[in-house]
Amino acid sequence: MQGLAPALARLVEPRFGGSLPVRLRAWDGSEAGPTDAPVVVLRSRRALRRMLWSPGELGLAQAYVTGDIDVEGDLAEGFRRVWQVVRDNDVLADEHGRRASRLSKPDLLAALKIAVRYGIVGLPPKTPASQAKLEGGLHSLRRDRAAISHHYDLSNDFYALILDPHMAYSCGYYRSPDDTLEQAQTNKLELIAGKLGVVAGSRHLDIGCGWGSLSLHLAEQHGVQVLGVTISREQKAFIDVRIAERGLQDLVEIRLQDYREVPETGFDTVSSIEMGEHVGAENYPAFIRLIESRLRPGGRALIQQMSRRDRPGGGDFIEAYIAPDMHMRPVGETVALIEDGGLEVRDVHALREHYVRTIQAWYDTFEANWETAVALVGEEVARVWRLYLVGGGLVFEQGRMGVDQILAVKKASDGRAGMPWVRAT
């Protein structure tokens, strides 16, 4: 076999248990790998040059979002085949069981020969414009605002294109196989309301309120007095319009404010819906202490948060393109941190399978509106989102990430929690 694709196949096949899980097609016209698999197309030397300078997940992501690499066929099936081979053969693990990203010395020599022969060696390609570029100390107020703006201030119209009418950008709750995405999100909002035990006139703090799905629902459906905080200007502008449209000015206040700057206390309930991942490992204990300090005795907190066991953090692609400085950990560690912060954990509800369906619904809508998405944010950012949604769905499908609702309570001085004897939801 002659050409670049067969040469690359010989180099990487041992790391995939002896055969490629996908087909390769290089810019010189050569191909290698199974004929019944999705085709990974290397469109230019720049594709491999990116991976030489940024080995692993980040280099692959850079090459895909810029179009230097493309995939013909089902992108999700390509990812699924690659991960299945990796998992079954443990081919990317070092002697300590950790994922290995570096080539052995013989493989590195072979890779350099291929790089020289096919003109791959060169200066690093320009970093894609869609990649986050943050400054300042990790999780400082300034840097956190920039990180949130990178993702959430993309375009309200873009998010409205993908999300349900609630604009709920978090895992839904499917009570029936026939539930639509909108119904699943309504179910989720009611599930939270029930767990928190909200009543008309009670005070609620919504930390990281997003586009207001929970804040508006609690006010409109349950008569709750809500304070929502976000550091995304686009989100606040969106919610303020909805508050006015629905006549909820007396019940809902949305502030452009960091959670660390909320001065009020004595809330009956507090929520954090997939916001805790943005707090950071170092700040998480202080985050929980703040929630505890803002609750009245007997008040409840509902934290919906993603988790991962294989590697704490966010991942190279996620942190570079989607959620900079994101941090996830095993759910058990989060539970321990919540209890260390002075709250009593009363319930942990795993929703992983529900996220698979939620993300699939987002992805289907996204692909059906691809041209509109490109018109709104440009093709490079649209390709970032395609990669994000496909990869996100798979990591939940395969159990590499989870998402949980954690219900906690601030006990009164006499130890009473005020929780119902029988769980109703």
> Which structural domain range is residue 44 located in?
4-117
Helix (H/G/I), strand (E/B), else coil: 402? strand
Domain assignment present for 130:
no
Domain assignment present for 105:
yes
- Tokens 């693990």 belong to 93
Tell me what pLDDT residue 95 has: 40
Same domain for 111 and 60: yes
Domain assignment present for 236:
yes
Say how many C-beta atoms besides its own lie within 10 A of residue 127's C-beta.
13
For residue 303, the cross-strand partners are 272, 406
Strands (E), 330-377: 344-350
Alpha-carbon radius of gyration of the chain:
23
Domain assignment present for 418:
no
Tell me what pLDDT residue 112 has: 80
Same domain for 70 and 186: no
- How is residue 176 annotated by DSSP? S
Contact 307/329 with Cβ under 8 angstroms? yes
- Tokens 């029930």 belong to 194
- Name the residue among 271, 96, 264 with its Cα closest to residue 189: 271
Same domain for 157 and 101: no
Per-residue pLDDT tens listing for the chain (425 residues): 589 999 999 988 887 878 899 999 999 999 999 999 999 999 999 999 998 888 778 888 999 999 999 999 888 888 888 777 655 554 444 443 444 445 577 777 887 888 888 888 888 899 998 998 878 887 787 887 777 777 777 789 999 999 999 999 999 999 999 999 999 999 999 999 999 999 999 999 999 999 999 999 999 999 999 999 999 999 999 999 999 999 999 999 999 999 999 999 999 999 999 999 999 999 999 999 999 999 999 999 999 999 998 777 667 888 888 878 889 999 999 999 999 999 999 999 999 999 999 999 999 999 999 999 999 999 999 999 999 999 999 999 999 999 999 999 999 989 989 898 887 66
Say how many C-beta atoms besides its own lie within 10 A of residue 286's C-beta.
13
Tell me what pLDDT residue 86 has: 58
Q: State the pTM of this model.
A: 0.90
Same domain for 358 and 219: yes
Same domain for 214 and 72: no
Copy the structure tokens of residue 323.
């959620």
Q: How far apart are CA 273 and CA 319, in angstroms?
A: 19
Same domain for 297 and 226: yes
Same domain for 108 and 152: no
Tell me which H or E stretch contains 204: strand 203-207
Output the CA torsion 303→210→390→282 (10° steps).
Answer: -50
Task: Domain count for the chain, please give it.
Answer: 2
Output the CA torsion 63→69→74→79 (10° steps).
Answer: -50
Same domain for 341 and 232: yes
In sequence order, what DSSP letters do the residues of 237-259 get, joined into one string?
HHHHHHHHHHT-TTTEEEEE--G
Same domain for 385 and 349: yes
Contact 250/223 with Cβ under 8 angstroms? no
Residue 308 — φ and ψ, nearest 5°? -150, 145
Same domain for 240 and 200: yes
